[in-house]
Amino acid sequence: MEERNIVLRELMKLGPADIAEILEDLDQDQAADLVHRLFLRKAAAEPLGEMDPDDSAELVVHLDRKEASQILSRMDPDDAADLLLELPDDIQKELLSRLSRADAKILTNLLAYPPDSAGGLMSPEVVPLSLSMSAQDAINHLRKRVQEAETVYYAYAVDDDNHLLGVLSLRDVALADPNRSLRDLVIRDAVSVHVTSDAEDVANMFDKYNYYALPVVDDDNKLLGVITFDDIIDVIREEATEDIYGLASVPSEESVDTTWARSLVLRLPWLYVRLLTALAAALVVGLFEVTIAKVAALAVLMGIIAGQAGSAGMQTVTIITRGMALGELDRDLGWKLLGKETLLGVANGMLIGATVGLITYLWKGELLMGIAVFLAMTVNMIVAGASGVAIPVIVKKLGKDPALVSGIFLTTITDMLGFGLMFVIAMWLMPGI
């Protein structure tokens, strides 16, 4: 017991992020035991707040409910809300019911916002200042309330009804003449985000303005909370992971830590979706079985035509969906890009088509087959380029995530068209086969 306490004491010298990492590496029982002992020293809330909410929620399930609710009440409300969101409904309710009425209300309010909105990211712990204060007043006021605030690098000026008037940088306030009025220091045209804004748009604002924190307001411009850059780093990483996973049909819940049984359940539906599209393409090929039996080379060539157009189209889809995620794509650009990618399809298609056509001619000695390959490749590449723009734009208009499903639609088109075109054009140019 003595020895374990020494370990605990050493552990507590580490920062919360390091303790969080250790908790994530331990197995469930060990981690719950460690949290219990950290709790007894009032040191459990911060490390849990640093953990991935999935992981901290799994841990909290194994804790004594009374202990868990006390830890929650000491966490930053935005972290506590993220954790609660991952808990089963009954445990979530029980923990909320054990909190003080004030704490429960703050968390219930936060839980009402979608997790991928500004409201879901914000912390309500913001210390508002009145413009009638001097710099020294403000410092004194902040000094008293330093424990409550999520950030005091920025403070926000509000009127008596909590309407946001402007932003104050702690740097400006701390380094100003102590008697100066906040009126001289406030930045009036403060950039703020609306509580219903999409997390991706909020991330783009942080990227553009390089602010450490942004205030969150409601329809009436009343100050509701603050979003800090560290929440945004998480958003940017998660959105990027989702987009990367989407391209390869990987379910967004997966990571390198997922168990194999869970991975199987998560990935299998996607593989069956892909299979379905492959079978649809196979149906097209099935129509031409007789032709394949006569000219087996066409079976080899159809795969290349479908594959190359699929690759080129995925290049287009990738650039478009990434541009959308980074907020670089506006309406005018959409039409311009449709033109550009179609043109690229013509150029790429003719160049790649000529190469493969020439190889076909050299291989089989049939000029007409070479020409058929050239034509099929060119047409399929043009369609791939145009679809590569059109599909993500349409998917987005329908309110779905374009990075997630565009690839599947595109390769279905390029496969079916690639197979079909090869045979139709070959049979038209070479009526004998």
Task: Say how many C-beta atoms besides its own lie within 10 A of residue 219's C-beta.
Answer: 8
Joined together, the tokens standing for residue 4 give 């374990």
User: Within 198-227, which residues bind its own copies (CB under 8 A)?
Assistant: 206-210, 212
Q: Which is nearer to its own copies, 91 or 394 (CB)?
A: 394
282 near its own copies, judged by CB under 8 A: yes
Q: Residue 154 to residues 118, 174, 182, 410: CA-CA distances in angstroms?
A: 18, 11, 13, 47
Q: Facing residues of 168 across strands?
A: 155
Q: Which is nearer to its own copies, 21 or 218 (CB)?
A: 21
DSSP symbol at 75:
S
Segment contacting its own copies (CB under 8 A): 26-34, 86-94, 217-225, 261-269? Answer: 261-269
Alpha carbon distance 324, 304 (integer Å): 30
362 near its own copies, judged by CB under 8 A: no
Intra-chain end-to-end CA distance of the chain, in Å:
86
Instruction: Work out which of 12, 85, 111, 319 binds its own copies, going by CB under 8 A.
Output: 319
Instruction: Work out which of 11, 61, 104, 292 binds its own copies, going by CB under 8 A.
Output: 292
Instruction: Work out how close the CB of 252 gets to its own copies at its nearest, in angstroms, rounded to a whole number.
Output: 11
272 near its own copies, judged by CB under 8 A: yes
User: Within 4-23, which residues bind its own copies (CB under 8 A)?
Assistant: 13, 15, 17, 21
Neighbour-count burial of 324, counting CB atoms closer than 10 A to its CB (0-12 exposed, 13-18 middle, 19+ buried):
buried
Q: Facing residues of 198 across strands?
A: 117
User: Contact letters (x/-) for its own copies, 321-340, by CB under 8 A?
Assistant: -xx--x-xx---x---x--x
102 near its own copies, judged by CB under 8 A: no
Alpha carbon distance 367, 393 (integer Å): 40
Identify the helix (H) or strand (E) that includes residue 9: helix 2-12
Alpha carbon distance 373, 22 (integer Å): 58
User: Within 236-255, which residues bind its own copies (CB under 8 A)?
Assistant: 236-237, 240-241, 243-245, 247-250, 254-255
Q: Which is nearer to its own copies, 93 or 208 (CB)?
A: 208
**Among candidates 349, 409, 77, which has minimal Cα distance to 226?**
77
User: Within 36-75, which residues bind its own copies (CB under 8 A)?
Assistant: 50
Q: Which is nearer to its own copies, 69 or 392 (CB)?
A: 392
Phi, psi of 116 (to 5 degrees): -100, 30
155 near its own copies, judged by CB under 8 A: no
Instruction: Work out how close the CB of 56 gets to its own copies at its nearest, in angstroms, rounded to a whole number.
Output: 15
User: Contact letters (x/-) for its own copies, 163-202, by CB under 8 A?
Assistant: -------xx-xxx-------------x-x-----------
Task: Say how many C-beta atoms besides its own lie within 10 A of residue 307's C-beta.
Answer: 14
410 near its own copies, judged by CB under 8 A: no
Task: Say how many C-beta atoms besides its own lie within 10 A of residue 311's C-beta.
Answer: 15
